[in-house]
A and B are shown apart, each in its own frame.
Chain A
Amino acid sequence: MIVLASIGLMHYLLVGAALFSAGVVTVLARRNAVAILIGIELMLNAANVNLVAFDRFGPGTMDGQIFTLFVFVIAASEAAVALAIIINVFDSTDRIDVDEIDALKG
């Protein structure tokens, strides 16, 4: 019988890889700008899972968890600014599809 008790670093890294791949698919396949932001949040989460797992199975310092908290700060700033830009663009052009927002294209 498989003993499920030994959940190691590898398991968490695989979860992180799955979350990251789902984020990549979201960013590439969606056309709604907010949905692309959702994909970016998924990828940041995948990195966070890896950081906390390394912290747990590493030499016993707090560094992994502290880096995760810094990622939280960056993610919050990025989401706030990105949504402000998206809402502003939507107000002035009535477009949310990133394929159609091409006014800056050279």
Chain B
Amino acid sequence: MVVLALPDLTPHLPGIIFGLFTAFAVAGALIAATAPKIVHAAFGLMASFFGVAGLYFQLGADFVALAHIIIYVGGILVLLVFGVLLTGRTQALLGIEKGHKTTGAVLIGGLVFFGLMLAIAGTEWNAVEDPGDPKPTTAAIGRAFLDPDQYLIPFEVASVLLLAALVGAAYLARRRREA
């Protein structure tokens, strides 16, 4: 009887998980960029969001990953789908269309990616080789936000910005009765 000896995958697990999340993030982004229908693009964006959240988890940023899922998938994406559906009764769906504009866009996108790759490869990052096991981050983030010597003022300013933006959005989006 031949026993099939599977190679020990344990040392490769971080790489495999990273590849999985990266595939989700990048494939979702490509769907968002190229799908002919906008609704499909929105769902590609959702896949991309989940992949990015997985990358945050792998980077040890547990609070940021969960906040990302709640805010982006639960908030912004739902808002975008509402926008798609509320404006969907026009003639065409206006996705990617043939013509010089698409070619130029893909060309510029490729150039940007190439330039970023050159910049990444050509920079001395001084990165920590092995940052050790990740620790819980929630308590540290909360203290940093409420510490007057660190991020208290930016935190309050961000709250006011969010309030102003949401009041403004509600004001802009309401239907004008008198008109």
Contacts and interface: CB of A to CB of B under 8 A. Distances in A.
A11 B15 CA distance: 10
Contacts of B30: 22
Interface in A38-68: 38-39, 41-42, 45, 48-49, 52-53, 55-60, 62, 65-66, 68
A103 interface: no
A34 B42 CA distance: 9
Nearest to A26: B33
B117 A66 contact: no
Chain B contact patch, size range: 35 or more
Given A23-B29, A30-B94, A17 B113 contact: yes
A19 B90 contact: no
Given A15-B26, A32-B38, 5 more contacts: A17-B120, A55-B59, A62-B144, A83-B83, A97-B94
Contacts of B106: 25, 29
B116 A20 contact: yes
B112 to A, nearest CB: 5
Dominant secondary structure at the B interface: helix
A86 B33 contact: no
A40 B80 CA distance: 12
Contacts of B127: 8-9, 57-58
27 contacts: A3-B11, A3-B12, A4-B14, A4-B19, A9-B127, A15-B25, A17-B120, A19-B52, A20-B112, A22-B29, A26-B32, A28-B109, A30-B94, A30-B95, A37-B83, A38-B80, A42-B29, A49-B52, A53-B59, A56-B134, A66-B151, A72-B71, A77-B162, A79-B76, A83-B82, A86-B83, A88-B172
